[in-house]
Structure 1
Amino acid sequence: MLTSGSGPDGEETARQQAEDLYTGLPKDGPEPLAAVQPAAPTLAAEPATPYTPPAYSRADALAELFIDDTTLDAALAGLARRRNLLLQGPPGTGKTFLARRLAWLLLGAQDERRVELVQFHPSYGYEDFMLGFRPDAEGRFHLVPGVLPLLCQRAAADPSRPYFLLIDEVNRGNVPRIFGELLLLLEADKRGPAHAVRLPYAPPEMPRFFVPDNLYVIGTLNLADRSLAPLDYALRRRFAFVQLRPQFGEPLRAYLAAQGVPAPLIERLCTRMTALNQTIADDPELGPDFEIGHSYFCQPPKKEPAEAWLRLVLEQEIGPLLADYWREQPAIAAAQFRKLLA
């Protein structure tokens, strides 16, 4: 069993676990804390010269994101209003890339010390995200905080600056199981100690948990994966949503030109990918969520000929994706692939 048992021995074990995880337990009942507090690790000495992360501005964001001012403003407004944002769109539209840049933009710097990235998957659970029992090297179980309480603790200790939790592939995980009571605490008007709750598994002495107001959550959502269930509506109503679309227009063309890709090749790539995406969007079995994003083409080589690079991307990445899209109609996949190579 994972519990500490009953009776005096069990109570002593629970008390000891709480003391291991918390500092400053209250004498007259639990006080809300932003997160469980594990024993402080041994840290290396601070460098003589404090690290200053590179600055990051709106101009920097627009220079490397293939979105316009309207989309960027919508994302920033959603974060300011809801504290929680989901970026959704077809594969390859730069959702995770944008999530990190939004955090940097609000931080004003590329400060990874205040950004935490996790990826949901079918095996990821509440115990990983929030709080659960974990065995130590000797096989004894202890309560261990997950990524969210630890980040909340840091944010609560530094309330004048924002902190960010980035969740990649939100809908690949069992969202209700992972979030648990956090669904309530995520709401913008349910932040802070006044809304603290007691976590499951926590002994009576353990402080309650709350989400600080300066923690922002940015998730990404891939709608093209047919193996995933729709996003839980209880979570959906607590997030603002921004839709991303493939961008094969002028920003991508200018970027590829700056990377040395010849203009005729850029024109051919963008024209044919736009036509392919229209075919995908018009297919009743697919639709706009299955369009192919621009990020497949954002890393042209410095030394390899651009023509050879593009052919490799088409053959090794786009072709297999088309075969999966039209797995019951391979002739259509083959025809569309030939158009790209022509």
Structure 2
Amino acid sequence: MSQYQWAEKNGNIVAADYNRTTDTLSAQQVMMELENAFNALGNSVNIQQVSSEMNDVYNVSIPNGNEQYNVFVCAKGTTPGGRNNLMDEQRIQPKAKYWNFAYEKLQNGEKAISLGIYKRDGETIFCSWRLQLSNAVSPDTPVSKQIKIQSIANAIREGFVQQYKGHGEFACAFRKEFLYFYLKNSEWLHTGNVSELNEHIDIITQNTVSHDSRENITFKTNFLSDFERNRIIFGAPGTGKSYQLKKDCNTLISGTNGTYERVTFHPDYAYSHFVGTYKPVTENNSSEIKYKFVPGPFMRVYVEALKSGRTGNPQPHLLLIEEINRAKVAAVFGDVFQLLDRDDYGVSEYEIRASEDVMKYLAKELGGEYNSYQRIKIPDNMFIWATMNSADQGVFPMDTAFKRRWNFEYLGIDKNDKDIKGKIILGKGSHALEIEWNQLRKAINEKLAEDYNVNEDKLIGPYFLSKKVMKVVSNNKIADSEKFKEAFKNKIIMYLYEDAAKQHKHKLFNGCNSEGYSTAKYSSVCNAFDEIGIDIFGDDFRELYANSRGV
């Protein structure tokens, strides 16, 4: 089998074999993808094949108030190009009679479109081509329509893209959120550039501040702070990274009119989520769908900082990013990455050229002509702070260029542990022992580090168990012993068994074996813990616990 190019999540392009069984959508799967996309905005559509002779043509009935309107869709799942010199293409090959049926509907004044459905790893992109009459010799002759895999990758990242095919014609690729946008504008999207959007649909411009101008914007506001503008706090799980940022956030904005916004990164998080993109919206209980630029958290905080900076009394505005390395940060930040270089005053040292969408959004929010916002910087009153756990599962690496633009602050494994107290009796009978949580935590960490060379960033921090679990009463006794025991099994033992000590779990929990339990199953270790408490860690662990002073 030949190696073809495929677009994966976040727009990465990889080379892989083509399996006709698993990589080709069936007619039923095509119908399901169409139904999912047409229903994405809360509609309840009815989709049927036109007839048994027209397998790849569907009649989509869409509610419109008290009425219905129909769209004829010639649709197939995309497949690789098939030609050895064009391994970077996807294509559809409907029969000429299917293609011409949709074309004739269009010529008769009805709504008709063509769609190729690309799906891989749960990511779906719709591809479309201009409907034109096919002069194929036979009605059963395939009509081949191609699109570059790079266009599909761009659509995954950006939402909607066009690919110039020559002779004044474009192919389109888009996420399902843009299906109704495409449906409304399909007549011109294949012959006109999407930059002509203003000529075809209304851009929502209510509440535009027309009296302000670009000259009111200043990036150097002279806002003073002892905090770094770009910070990443990292450390082992449970060291209080989020807590530290929350505390510093309160210090930063206390006594000011500043604001903050919190966002959590995840593997599917993209530039369009972070900065913003055009999205379909409805307003004022209207069923009419319009498209406008919807800002992401970065752009919202950025605008607030700029508005504040031109008042003469600048206030701090903070973007808090949780789990920054759970997403591919280079893709999420995109060109914003260049703005992270700050000068001695906290202003971006280098500017970037804003996209058309961003320029228009800034003009709407800040006033003036949109082309006045071609060059932008981060002002000194905008802060970007983040948390990171470098040793966690499911995280992405950061390149050196990205890292050097941040101030990294490490929270040690025993940082801020003085306030952590809590005593409880674990185990039954001869195994019963009153333990102190923080001392037990340190003993476990010492065993992991000394016996199994586990790195510090995979050890257990003092706040690994929540304050709710660690609530104490008189004499520092844990208030709810059953809640603690369940949390210890569901969090501590699970973390050790499945992550931190995954390669050493049979040795770490060898105390289970001597009591007739097994280390082969997580549930068996939990059952052993109920009976023998900390003796699940072996015969020598009690001595280690008694002598533990931290790693």
Scaled by the length of structure 1, the TM-score of the pair is 0.70
- Pick one of 191, 198, 214 that aligns with 2:353: 198
The aligned counterpart of 1:332 is: 507
Runs (5+) with no aligned partner, structure 2: 1-127, 129-159, 162-184, 220-224, 283-287, 361-369, 427-432, 512-524, 536-551
Q: Quote how far apart the aligned CAs of 1:335 are.
A: 3.7
- 1:115 matches 2:249: no
Q: Quote how far apart the aligned CAs of 1:193 are.
A: 8.8
The aligned counterpart of 2:272 is: 127
Q: Quote how far apart the aligned CAs of 1:123 are.
A: 1.2
Task: Choose between structure 1 and 2: higher helix proportion.
Answer: 1
Q: Using a 3 Å threshold, how does the CA distance of structure 1 residues 112 and 176 change in structure 2: closer, same or farther?
A: farther
Say if 1:95 and 1:244, in contact at 8 Å, map to a contact too: yes
- 1:323 matches 2:497: yes
Instruction: Count matched residues.
Output: 291
The aligned counterpart of 1:166 is: 320
Specify the SS of the correspondent of 2:352: coil
Q: Quote how far apart the aligned CAs of 1:7 are.
A: 7.1
Specify the SS of the correspondent of 1:158: helix
Q: Using a 3 Å threshold, how does the CA distance of structure 1 residues 34 and 23 change in structure 2: closer, same or farther?
A: farther
- Pick one of 196, 203, 218 that aligns with 1:17: 203
The aligned counterpart of 2:534 is: 341
Say if 1:246 and 1:293, in contact at 8 Å, map to a contact too: yes
Amino acid at match of 1:166: L
The aligned counterpart of 1:49 is: none
Q: Using a 3 Å threshold, how does the CA distance of structure 1 residues 145 and 332 change in structure 2: closer, same or farther?
A: same
- Pick one of 281, 294, 319 that aligns with 2:449: 281
Say if 1:186 and 1:238, in contact at 8 Å, map to a contact too: yes
- 1:180 matches 2:347: no
Q: Using a 3 Å threshold, how does the CA distance of structure 1 residues 132 and 7 change in structure 2: closer, same or farther?
A: closer
CA distance in 2, matches of 1:34, 1:319: 53
Amino acid at match of 1:171: N
The aligned counterpart of 2:241 is: 95
- Pick one of 140, 149, 152 that aligns with 2:299: 149
Task: Choose between structure 1 and 2: higher strand proportion.
Answer: 2
The aligned counterpart of 1:312 is: 486
Say if 1:248 and 1:270, in contact at 8 Å, map to a contact too: no
CA distance in 2, matches of 1:32, 1:13: 29
- Pick one of 372, 380, 387 that aligns with 1:213: 380
CA distance in 2, matches of 1:196, 1:24: 25
Say if 1:280 and 1:290, in contact at 8 Å, map to a contact too: no
Q: Quote how far apart the aligned CAs of 1:241 are.
A: 0.8
Q: Using a 3 Å threshold, how does the CA distance of structure 1 residues 193 and 90 change in structure 2: closer, same or farther?
A: closer
The aligned counterpart of 1:292 is: 460
Q: Quote how far apart the aligned CAs of 1:277 are.
A: 0.9
CA distance in 2, matches of 1:87, 1:8: 41
1:75-119 per-residue CA deviation (whole Å, 9 max, x = no partner) reads x96x33xx111000111111111111111112235x896111000
Say if 2:438 and 2:462, in contact at 8 Å, map to a contact too: no
The aligned counterpart of 2:391 is: 224
CA distance in 1, matches of 2:270, 2:208: 23
1:164-189 per-residue CA deviation (whole Å, 9 max, x = no partner) reads 11100000011011111111212222
1:23-43 per-residue CA deviation (whole Å, 9 max, x = no partner) reads 44999xx879689xxxxxxxx
Say if 1:167 and 1:217, in contact at 8 Å, map to a contact too: yes
Say if 2:324 and 2:388, in contact at 8 Å, map to a contact too: yes
1:49-90 per-residue CA deviation (whole Å, 9 max, x = no partner) reads xxxxxxxxxxxxxxxxxxxxxxxxxxx96x33xx11100011
Question: Aligned-residue CA RMSD in angstroms?
Answer: 4.0
Q: Quote how far apart the aligned CAs of 1:156 are.
A: 1.8
Structure 1 range deviating more: 139-148 or 200-209: 200-209
Q: Which has the larger radius of gyration?
A: 2
